[in-house]
Chains A and B, each alone.
Chain A
């Protein structure tokens, strides 16, 4: 083979004498150089006879490169042809040696050559710079995770529902408590899992469990809450988020927040996790007061749970959203809203937001919202007047109330308050007393849970991806027959990084005649989104922000004509 056979006019070789680097590292550098606009082809090779052959065959070897020995590195660059796509390798063969003196290259090309060679030499000094971002290994299998973290005692399971029970069993066999985020687990499977868990003395949180706060560790969707002496057992993820956030903002704190999954108080499951959670909090010296949150349970299960509550030496607050007044043991009081649950547990009223004119007053006893035939919301003060924000009062407006919720339990809480005030309404997730909403139904007051299956099939939950709700909000704001819009904004670990931002933009873009928007922000100052910042963002867009979801529902109600 003759020296430099076939090397094109735009090929340059530089030889670094006495240089060695691993061939894979050299190939990676060549690959990176080829991403430069100035470079057509790049090759970095140690000058062994076999490598010289490869370079020559690729027409990348000039006379200079051909002189390299196995002790040397050859940097071979074919510069890109700025004139066009024509293959420079087929061009007139220049004298290779001339290339090394830049005489055959134009001035610009010489500059390019220097740039490229300098870059190559820099990369040779720091060949692994691009590898610094490598992610750390994370186990994919439960048993490897257990090996990697031998002290762990809780497994979070988030796999398609069909596989969740099998994974949960593996975790329990390894002695782990289980948090099942997955939904779509058959009811019988849930019951079987929980029976096995009880036998093993392990807690199954879920399936379809969204939130837990164990020993100060937030599991799945949860807020940065204070540690304290109030324990929570909740069948609802957003219910647990709202109560734990309100308690934190009111100066209280959480010992543990145990999720049970939405169907734990179903007859088939019998409240196994709820009862075990009460046992655990009963035995926990750090827990002074226990809050129980659920939808209305099956009567037989309710009896068992209340009997267990009666046997506890600790005071309880029972919040069964949508339930009528209950016969409770002496150590328990009933809360009809999540806000009331927080207030009763802490013995303190929720203060108004700064800028709000009137603080609600803690009433002596919480009352069920159904007792009164008047259009009164179950706010603690019984007051129906809206808090006035920054002196900006709005006249009541004709039309319907529209709720667009991301949290199912927040939607349910709003419904109980509105129904309690005598407002007939429909919902895709109705509480007792509300009608079931179906597309095409005539207009009326409507509370939508956008986290329900029909809205999340094949897409992310609206707490993570706010877009679907923003589209609905945009439509609703254009309607003349809507009197007010009611929203929840859920912050915390797992939620969208700035849910208020998109809402504020959408409200800002709406016309001057758009209906007023009322919202509450579930979260704390410690959340990554920042509770105060999110409230500010909403307020600057003219959204009326209430201190709780219950207060927001009350406020929205007051905006209705005759409310």
Chain B
């Protein structure tokens, strides 16, 4: 049995290492994800009903109803959501992911990442930047105007540019970003800059935008340190989807939070979620805010930890370790090495210079998590618990052990061990 599981996990790790994720397009969600119908809102995390949604999630839902033209204003949007006329479903059901609230609807633009080794595609909305943004529950006119510009101007320009250059190799960008201080969850500065550097000539050459538009596009991407986060997330989804459904494979294919539950999926048990109440992040707060303002952990962004980045690659971004504890470079290394105790292997394509170019720990094995009691560490932003206020801090949170215990019991059933 141990050998059968080992072979399955080897196969899964090989698929992760063999992935060739390319950013190929930016499309209206309606076109990229035909299953995403009218009056349907996809959200972060495992399934959740309106009554249990947290403040930011509800705020984002109400805002998107206005954006989509389903409601004239926010209170009507909220009433509509509560009425049962809107159907909610997880992004993961659609091959998509979204940061924080993770709201995805037909009218938004989504980036398309294609895993060319396996032919599958994954989707994520474009990152809106800092301040009041929908992913943290922001929903005022400024937020909605920006979303409009993103789908109306930014998305077509990026689409033209990506078609012009034939797609951008994300594995290479991440490899370079790791050597420049990014871990692809809280730190995306290097990768955002590298991406813009690759996009810029094509944005100029593809001719889809006027000079003024182009200036706003450059300023928008160039002014957003986290622009690459959403790209990394779509990449993570595209890399992990071919790993799902391998019999006797005990590796995690997705971790995600909806603001109430933390859920994981395991290869052998397919699309089933194993949920437990989500933890509150520990971290540092922006001036004027404290832990009392914090919303419980939220978002599909933990897909990056599922592929060995984020908290697993902390050694590449020592500054991130500063959010908790002593916060030195030694702590950053400890996080990465400790994650090495719960994974199946390393990804040698993604090496960390500070660890003598050891690859990032990859392929979370639920057996090792339960055996060691070491829970995956996640780097995360902290949303205000009320809708519309936005990000109030950033920090570190652990996946709940219970998810892995439940998953292990189901996994044991799936391989015929009781």
Contacts and interface: CB of A to CB of B under 8 A. Distances in A.
Given A24-B284, A24-B320, A25-B322, A53 B328 contact: no
B368 A141 contact: yes
B326 A27 contact: no
Nearest to B331: A134
Contact of A28 (B327, B338, B372): B327
B326 A131 contact: yes
Contacts of A115: none
Which 3 pairs between the two chains have the least Cβ-Cβ distance? A58-B288, A131-B328, A43-B287
B364 to A, nearest CB: 14
B284 A41 contact: no
Interface in B198-234: none
A31 B320 CA distance: 15
Interface of A: 22, 24-25, 27-28, 30-31, 41, 43, 45, 50, 53-55, 57-60, 76, 128, 130-137, 139-141, 143-144
A548 to B, nearest CB: 44
Chain B CB within 10 Å — which of A28, A54, A60, A139 has the most? A54
Given A24-B319, A25-B322, A140 B284 contact: no
Given A24-B319, A24-B322, A53-B131, A134 B330 contact: yes
A41 B290 CA distance: 11
A43 to B, nearest CB: 4
23 contacts: A24-B284, A24-B322, A24-B327, A24-B394, A27-B284, A27-B285, A27-B323, A28-B284, A30-B287, A43-B286, A54-B288, A60-B287, A130-B327, A131-B326, A131-B327, A132-B328, A134-B329, A134-B334, A135-B334, A140-B338, A140-B372, A141-B368, A141-B372
Contact of A139 (B329, B341, B373): B341
A134 to B, nearest CB: 4
A137 B322 contact: no
B368 to A, nearest CB: 7
Interface in B389-413: 394
Given A50-B131, A53-B131, A136 B288 contact: no
A28 B338 CA distance: 24
Chain B CB within 10 Å — which of A25, A43, A135 has the most? A135
B374 A59 contact: no
A139 B374 CA distance: 11
Interface string B269-301: 000000000000000111111000000000000
A57 B288 contact: yes
Given A54-B286, A131-B329, 20 more contacts: A22-B322, A24-B394, A25-B322, A27-B285, A27-B322, A28-B284, A43-B287, A50-B131, A54-B288, A55-B287, A58-B286, A130-B326, A131-B330, A132-B328, A134-B328, A134-B334, A137-B330, A137-B334, A141-B368, A141-B371
Given A24-B323, A131-B326, A131-B328, A137 B337 contact: yes
Contact of B374 (A60, A128, A130, A140): A140
B21 interface: no
A5 B35 CA distance: 48
Contacts of B285: 27
B183 to A, nearest CB: 12
Interface residues of B, number: 31
Contacts of B326: 130-131, 133-134
A178 B96 CA distance: 49
Nearest to A43: B287
Nearest to B325: A134
A76 B288 CA distance: 12
A71 to B, nearest CB: 15
A58 B285 CA distance: 12
A136 B333 CA distance: 9
Nearest to B371: A141
Chain A CB within 10 Å — which of B286, B333, B337, B373 has the most? B286
B340 interface: yes
B181 to A, nearest CB: 9
A65 to B, nearest CB: 11
Contact of A135 (B330, B371, B373): B330
Contacts of A57: 288
Given A24-B323, A27-B284, A27-B322, A137 B338 contact: yes
Nearest to A28: B322
B130 interface: yes
B328 A128 contact: yes
Contact of A25 (B130, B319, B373): B319
Interface in B89-137: 130-131
Contacts of A60: 287-288
A59 B371 contact: no
A413 B325 CA distance: 49
A139 B334 CA distance: 9
B380 to A, nearest CB: 13
A59 B374 CA distance: 41
A445 B339 CA distance: 57
B35 to A, nearest CB: 36
A128 B323 CA distance: 13
Interface in B363-390: 368, 371-374
Nearest to A45: B287
B288 A59 contact: yes
Nearest to A57: B288
Contacts of B334: 134-137
Contacts of A137: 330, 333-334, 337-338
B328 A144 contact: no
Contacts of A22: 319, 322
Chain A CB within 10 Å — which of B289, B319, B320, B373 has the most? B319
B270 to A, nearest CB: 28
A54 B384 CA distance: 13
A25 B317 CA distance: 12
